[in-house]
C-alpha cells in the first residue's frame, strides 16, 4: 500500500546539494515525488511509497548531505494526491 508524506526541512539545506542528495536517497529507497527549494530557505519534499520506504527516506532527510546541516524535519502524512512516476528536483 502506497502512502504519501510531505516534509519541510530547515537548516543549512539550500546551496549545499541537499535536493540532489534527497534524489539519490529516493532512488535507493524506491520512492517517487519531488524536492524543491522554498523562498523561506527551507526545502519541501513530497514523496510516495511504501511506509518502510518512506521511513527510510525520512532517515536520509535527517542525515542530510555532506555540506548541509539539518535542524528540523517536519513530516505530514496524507493520502496520495497524485501519482508520481519518478523522483525529481524542481528548480
Catalytic residues: 19, 37
Residues in the chain: 91
Give which of 55, 54, 38, 41 is closest to 90, Cα–Cα: 38
CB 27 within 8 A of CB 21: no
Amino acid at each position: 500500500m502506497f502512502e504519501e508524506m510531505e516534509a519541510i526541512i530547515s537548516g543549512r539545506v539550500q546551496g549545499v546539494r541537499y535536493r540532489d542528495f534527497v534524489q539519490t536517497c529516493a532512488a535507493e529507497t524506491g520512492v517517487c515525488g519531488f524536492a524543491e527549494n522554498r523562498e523561506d530557505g527551507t526545502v519541501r519534499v513530497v514523496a510516495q511509497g511504501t511506509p518502510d520506504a518512506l521511513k527510510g527516506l525520512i532517515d536520509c532527510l535527517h542525515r542530510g548531505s555532506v555540506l548541509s546541516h539539518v535542524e528540523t524535519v517536519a513530516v505530514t502524512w496524507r493520502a496520495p494526491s497524485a501519482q508520481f512516476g519518478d523522483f525529481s528536483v524542481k528548480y
